[in-house]
Structure formats: C-alpha cells, structure tokens
C-alpha cells in the first residue's frame, strides 16, 4: 500500500511538499541526537549547544504543525482525494516530532549528571547503541525516499534489539553501586534512546504495515528475521 502512497506524495504538489518536510524533520532529529550525544560524552551542556538544540526542536515542531495544517487544507479542497496518504502522514509526522523531544530529554539528563558519559562503566554499550540509532535515522530516511520495504523491515527488527539492550542497561544501572545522582540520569538516557529508536521504527512501519496497523508489527507482514535480533 505504501508504494502507492509514496507515488501519490511524489505526484501531487501539496503532498510532495509535505513529504519533503517529513524527511527534513527526520534529518533534524538526527542532527539533534548528534549534538546532544557530543554534550553527553563531554559531560557538559554548553549554553550555545543548548540554544541550538532547542531552536532545532522548535523548527521541527513548527514543521509538524505546518504539515497538519496543509493536510486539513488539502482534504478540505479535495475531499476524498489522497485520504490514505494524508492519514499515514498525519501519523508518522507525530513520531518524527517526538524524536526531538527525547533528544532534549537526553540533554536534560546530561545536565543532571554533570559528568562525562565516558566515566559511566557502561559507556561502551551506550556508545554502540547511539551509533546504531544514528544508522536507523539514515535507514529510515532512505526507506521513505525509496519506498524500500526491506530497509524498513531492517529498521523495525534492529529497533527491537536496541530496545531490549536499552532495558538491559537500565537493569544493570539499577543493580549497580553507582550513586543515584549518576545512575538515575544515565538510566533515563537509556530509556530516551529506546524511545528515539521506537519512534523511528514507527515511521518505518508505515512502509510495511497496513494503515490500520501503523506502529504495530504483525509478523506476517515482515518477510525476514535476523537471529541476532533475539540476543539479549
């Protein structure tokens, strides 16, 4: 179904413009995570970095509102036309917007801990998850741009694995001897990383799932699995 929607988005000028805005929102979220992660690794939130991150989040929020407004205008002018494409876009644009919120949350957790993430005993695990999520951003954009269902499935399967590993990080931090002023913010950061990955997966689900099953991963719609996706 989504191939037809992508085709509709590419042909109709209003939908094409909205689709490009969605891709820009995802790109903006990736930029935010990159900037936020550098601050977390350094353990210091510089005023100019915080300002840049919050400004980009405002731009993403504005893009979401603009897309929603254009969807309503488009359906008002042409009722009954492109309805499935508009419904899908209305759903996934919210996921793209939420990514920015969780990036800000990671920045706030960094301010709470006040120490470099490199000093966390689980730093290497955190860093690996961060790199994989950065890869999810690129895969999600490419899957949307090319209506690539196999790439979208990779995003969904990898997100499941990332989610399990984030939960494992939280459990390990909770069981550690770290003081709460360190363990709690780092545990929050792990949960926020999990949510970033989950929202990217929700966007990717629009390519392989029927409209009524967006954000829901029915195995019969996934044509492949990876054994390594089941590792703890």
Cα–Cα distance for residue pair 8/202, rounded to 1 Å: 21
Provide the residue ranges of all domains of the chain, joining segments of one domain with +. Answer: 2-230
Residue with tokens 């989950």: 198
Over the stretch 102-126, which tens digit does the pLDDT of each residue have?
999 999 999 999 899 999 999 999 9
Cβ atoms of 94 and 160 closer than 8 Å:
no
Over the stretch 16-55, which tens digit does the pLDDT of each residue have?
888 899 999 999 999 999 999 999 999 999 999 999 999 9
Cα–Cα distance for residue pair 232/212, rounded to 1 Å: 30
> For residue 40, how many other CB atoms are within 10 A of its CB?
28
Fold exhibited by the domain 2-230: Methane Monooxygenase Hydroxylase; Chain G, domain 1 (1.20.58)
What backbone torsions phi and psi does residue 77 show, to the nearest 5 degrees?
-75, -40
Taking the model in full, what pTM does it have?
0.85
pLDDT mean values, one per 10 residues, the chain (232 residues): 55 76 96 97 95 97 93 76 76 93 97 94 97 97 89 93 97 95 95 97 81 51 42 34
Q: How far is CA 118 from the centre of its chain?
A: 24
> Can you read off the two tokens belonging to residue 20?
């490009």
């Amino acid at each position: 179904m989504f191939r037809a929607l992508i085709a509709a988005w590419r042909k109709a000028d209003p939908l094409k413009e909205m689709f490009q805005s969605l891709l820009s929102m995802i790109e903006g979220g990736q930029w935010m995570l990159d900037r936020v992660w550098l601050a977390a690794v350094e353990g210091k939130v510089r005023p100019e970095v915080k300002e840049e991150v919050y400004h980009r989040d405002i731009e993403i929020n504005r893009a979401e509102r603009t897309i929603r407004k254009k969807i309503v205008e488009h359906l008002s002018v042409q009722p009954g036309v492109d309805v499935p494409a508009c419904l899908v876009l209305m759903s996934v644009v919210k996921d793209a917007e939420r990514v920015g919120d969780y990036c800000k949350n990671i920045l706030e957790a960094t301010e709470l801990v006040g120490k470099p993430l490199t000093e966390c005993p689980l730093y290497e695990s955190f860093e690996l998850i961060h790199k994989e999520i950065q890869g999810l951003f690129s895969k999600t954009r490419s899957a949307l741009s090319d209506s690539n269902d196999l790439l979208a499935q990779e995003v969904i399967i990898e997100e499941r694995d990332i989610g399990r590993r984030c939960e494992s990080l939280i459990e390990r931090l909770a069981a550690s001897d770290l003081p709460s002023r360190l363990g709690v913010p780092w545990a929050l950061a792990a949960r926020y990383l999990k949510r970033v990955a989950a929202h990217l997966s929700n966007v990717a689900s629009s390519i392989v799932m029927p409209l009524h099953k967006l954000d829901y991963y029915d195995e019969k719609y996934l044509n492949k699995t990876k054994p390594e996706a089941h590792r703890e």
